[in-house]
Amino acid sequence: SQKIEQNSEALNIQEGKTATLTCNYTNYSPAYLQWYRQDPGRGPVFLLLIRENEKEKRKERLKVTFDTTLKQSLFHITASQPADSATYLCALDMYNTGGFKTIFGAGTRLFVKA
């Protein structure tokens, strides 16, 4: 069956450390992978997109890797801050009849302690 797996347990880290979140998938062949941030009571906000032929993408303190062999993406936040506390969603973009289809994971909650 097709699955997207993100760690359902919350990740707790200390301020200043690097947070690493994992997104694994099975039986999908995504052309793109996206990461979103969602705060309580708010809609998801787009952070980064990486193509299947890209290994790594960076934006300020954020870094995403995409390994199509392992079927895994890692999302890193360096020098983490309490303001980074949120739920992070990964999403796969795949070719679909008539266009593209985006499938979301359930998200991982990140808590950054001061």
Partner 1 sequence: ETGVTQTPRHLVMGMTNKKSLKCEQHLGHNAMYWYKQSAKKPLELMFVYSLEERVENNSVPSRFSPECPNSSHLFLHLHTLQPEDSALYLCASSQERTENQPQHFGDGTRLSIL
Q: Which residues bind partner 1 (CB under 8 A)?
A: 4, 8, 31-32, 34, 41-46, 49, 51, 89, 93, 95, 98-107
Radius of gyration of the chain measured on its C-alpha atoms: 14
Smallest distance from partner 1 to CB 22, Å: 15
Rounded CA-CA distance 16/22 in Å is 19
Q: With left for phi above 0 and alpha for psi between -120 and 50, is residue 80 left, alpha or beta?
A: beta
Nearer to partner 1, 79 or 106 (CB): 106
Smallest distance from partner 1 to CB 16, Å: 29
Nearer to partner 1, 73 or 105 (CB): 105
Smallest distance from partner 1 to CB 69, Å: 21
Smallest distance from partner 1 to CB 26, Å: 14
Helices (H) and strands (E) in the chain, counts: 0, 11
The answer to whether the CB of 68 falls within 8 A of the CB of 52 is yes
